[in-house]
Amino acid sequence: MMEFKATIGGKPAHVGSDFAVLNPATGEEVGRAPNMGGAEVDAAVAIAKAAFASWSMLSDEALQAACAAVTAKIEEHAGELAEIITLEQGKPLNGLGSRWEVGGAVAWAGYTAGLSLPVKVLQDNEQGRVELARKPLGVVGSITPWNFPVMIAVWHILPALRTGNTVVVKPSPHTPLSTLRLVEIMNEVLPPGVVNVVTGDDRAFNLGAAMSAHPDIRKIVFTGSCATGQKVMQSAAETMKRLTLELGGNDAGIVLPDADPAKIAEGLFWGAFINNGQTCAAMKRLYVHEDIHDAVCDALVAYARNIPVGNGMEEASILGPVQNRMQFDKVERLVADARGRGKVLLGGEPGEGLFFPPTIIAGLRNGDALVDEEQFGPALPIIRYSDIEEAIRLANDSPNGLGGSVWSSDIATAKKVAGRLACGSVWINKHGAIQPNAPFGGVKASGFGVEFAEEGLAEYTDIQVVFS
C-alpha cells in the first residue's frame, strides 16, 4: 500500500485524516490520500495567490523554460506514474492504457510549453499605436475527473503555467494518487506555491464546490459531467470567474452505405471502447445504413471478441474494469434495459467485481435509454437507418454536442455530412482522435470554452488593450 502527501507551497501538507483508494480490478486498497477540508483549500489558494506575484512577472522565455522542465520531469517518471494510474484507475498498462496516457501527457506538456501569445499590433499609423496583450488571470482552480487523471491534469495545469498563472488542482476522490505524485514531481522544478494539490473524499466537505465559489480563484477549468458542470457554473457566478467546462458527450457515429465494414471495424471499436468507453469523446451510439448494417455488426463483433479484458497490471490485458461501483451500476442498468429492447450481439451480462465485458446491442433506436443517456462504459448501441437525412436528424437529437464521426469511402461526401453535425469536433473514418494543436470543446450542453492550441491557451488570460 502506498501513502501519499498533498503538496501545498512546495511542501508536504499534513492533515489529521486520510481516505482509502481502491484498485477497481481487485477491490484491494492501493493507497491513502489526505482527506482535506476548507482550511486546506484556503491555505492552498492563499499560497498560490502569493506565488502569482512573482511567477506572473517572469518573461515569456522563462515561463517556456519552466514548462519544458516540467515536461522533462513527467517523462522521467513516466513508468512510475503509469503504474499508479493502473492501480487506482484500472486501465491496463498496455494498449491505449496508462503508458499511453502518460505518453500523451508528455506530448501535450511539451507542445504547450512551445506555444506563445505574443502582443498583437492592431493599429500603427499617424493616429497612434494600439496593441493587444494577453495577461495572466491569477489563481486557476483545476477540477479533474477519474478517467484520465494524469493527462487531463496536464491539460489543465500546463496552459495555466505557460501563461503565468498559478494553480490549485483537485483530483477525483476515485483517482487522487497519480495526481498527488504528479504535483510532487512538478514541484521538483517549480517555485513553491506555483502548483498545489488538495484531495478529499467529498463526503463531509466538497472541495470542488469550495473552489468554484472561492473569491481568490480567478478561473475554474473543469472536466466532468454536465450536471456537475452546471453546479460549477452557478457557484462561480458570484465571483465572475472565467470558466472552461469540458462536459459530457453522447457522441454519434454515422456509417454511410459505401463504407467497407472490414476496414472500419477496428476504428469503430476503439472509437467506442477506448478506456473501456470511459471517455467523454468516445463514440456512444452508432447509426449504420441498412444496406451494410449486418455486415458492420458482424465485423465489429468479430474484432471485439479478440480483445483481452483483465487486471490492468497483467501485461496481456488491453481493457480493464469499470472504474467505480456507481459507474458500473449505471452501465448495468442501461444494458439491462437495452437487452429487452434490442438484440445483444456481444456481452450483455456483468462480469465479476467491476468487470463488464465489451457489449454491443443492435436493434435500438432514439428514445431507448442506452441511446439517449451517456453510458460512459463498455456498451455500444447500434441503430439502423435508411436515409441520410434521418441519420443526421437522429445524431443531432441530443442535448450534448461534444464530438461525432462519419465513416465512408468517399471523403468529400463524408465531409458534407460532417458539416451538418451539431458538435465541436467531427472525425472522418475515426473517432476521438484529439491532438494538442487543434482546439477541442463542445457545443450545446457539452461545454463552455475550448482547450488545446493557441485558442485554449488564450482562455487562461485576460485581454488588455494599450493605446499609445
The pLDDT value given to residue 352? 96
Please compute the mean of the pLDDT values over residues 412-421 and round it to a whole number. 98
Name the pLDDT band for 314 (thresholds 50, 70, 90).
very high
pLDDT in tens, 123-152: 999 999 999 999 999 999 999 999 999 999
Residues 248 and 245: their CA atoms lie apart, in Å, by 10
The pLDDT value given to residue 2? 76
The pLDDT value given to residue 373? 97
The pLDDT value given to residue 3? 79
Name the pLDDT band for 14 (thresholds 50, 70, 90).
confident
> One-letter amino acid identity for 172?
S
Residue 251 has pLDDT above 80, yes or no: yes
In sequence order, the 6+-apart residues with CB closer than 8 A to the CB of 155 are: 108, 223, 451, 452
In the sheet where 166-170 sits, what is the strand order? 195-197, 166-170, 139-143, 219-223, 242-246, 447-448
Name the pLDDT band for 16 (thresholds 50, 70, 90).
confident
The pLDDT value given to residue 136? 98
Average model confidence (pLDDT) for the chain?
Answer: 97
Please compute the mean of the pLDDT values over residues 391-418 and round it to a whole number. 98
pLDDT in tens, 219-232: 999 999 999 999 99
Provide φ and ψ at 267, rounded to 5°: -65, -40
Q: Which residues pair with 252 in a beta bridge?
A: 285, 404
Please compute the mean of the pLDDT values over residues 46-73 and round it to a whole number. 98
In sequence order, the 6+-apart residues with CB closer than 8 A to the CB of 89 are: 24, 98, 146, 147, 149, 174, 175, 178, 312, 323
Cα 395–400–406 angle (5° rounding)?
35
CB atoms inside a 10 Å sphere around CB 50: 15
How much of the chain, in percent, has pLDDT values that exceed 90?
99
Residues 179 and 172: their CA atoms lie apart, in Å, by 9
- Regarding pTM above 0.85, the answer is yes
Strands 242-246 vs 219-223: parallel, antiparallel or unpaired: parallel
Residues 95 and 409: their CA atoms lie apart, in Å, by 27
Please compute the mean of the pLDDT values over residues 156-179 and round it to a whole number. 98
pLDDT in tens, 270-286: 999 999 999 999 999 99
The pLDDT value given to residue 236? 96
Give the residue numbers marked as catalytic.
246, 280
Q: Which residues pair with 366 in a beta bridge?
A: 368
Eight-class DSSP state of 176: -
Residues 359 and 346: their CA atoms lie apart, in Å, by 5
